[in-house]
Chains A and B, each alone.
Chain A
Amino acid sequence: QMQMQESGPGLVKPSETLSLTCSVSGGSISSHYWSWIRQSPGRGLEWIASVSYSGTTNYNPSLKSRVTILLDTSKNQFSLKLRSMTAADTAVYCCARVQESAVEGNNFYYFDHWGQGTLVTVSS
């Protein structure tokens, strides 16, 4: 059974960079797309970015200028960096796997495995 676990600081100061890592066990990251999603009372669920097993990245345009997502196949991990943090970035950050399924000739994408999430608070 695949498990995903986020790690990183719970508290970040304004203007600093958030660095989070998602460790994947019970499966290899050398397939599928992998994503970061955050959740806050004000913004709800917000997809941040995805990275493929080959390193292809896809970013939410609203965050693209501040975000980097990277894959580390040697450690079976992927990471998120979010620069210039503000109070508006306070949220629970989750990592998730993107599954692809073919249904009636179309390819469908959905998040089928998630980490438990880690609360990140931005405060001085």
Chain B
Amino acid sequence: DIQMTQSPSSLSASVGDRVTITCRASQSIGNFLNWYQQKPGKAPNLLIYAASSLQSGVPSRINGSGSGTDFTLTISSLQAEDFATYYCQQSYSTLFTFGGGTKVEIK
């Protein structure tokens, strides 16, 4: 299995802050990497696919980058609606696997 490791597991930030979340794959996965946002009691919501392609309807302050084993999700100016848990997921292997999540909390 391809293991996905996210860091940090949680962070505290204020509205307007720039936030960066990292995801590392246990082997090279090219750019077969997706990012999701999950709010309490809701299913995950797709933000980014193919490492850097923004899903329709997702605000442009959210950006994805990286390739190989190291990936980054950046929120350029954190808004109130961005406080949530974020997950990466690889689709390089047909055995899809997810990272453990990064919870973004209000400072």
Contact = CB atoms under 8 A, between A and B. Distances in A.
A99 B55 CA distance: 11
Contacts, number: 59
Interface string A100-113: 01010010111110
B44 A45 contact: yes
B45 to A, nearest CB: 8
B49 A108 contact: yes
Interface in A54-109: 58, 60-61, 94, 96, 99, 101, 103, 106, 108-109
Given A47-B95, A47-B97, A103 B46 contact: no
Interface of B: 30-32, 34, 36, 42-46, 49-50, 53, 55, 87, 89, 91, 94-101
5 contacts: A103-B50, A108-B53, A109-B91, A111-B34, A114-B44
Interface of A: 35, 44-47, 58, 60-61, 94, 96, 99, 101, 103, 106, 108-112, 114-117
Closest 9 CB pairs of A and B: A114-B43, A45-B98, A47-B96, A110-B49, A109-B91, A110-B34, A108-B50, A103-B50, A112-B46
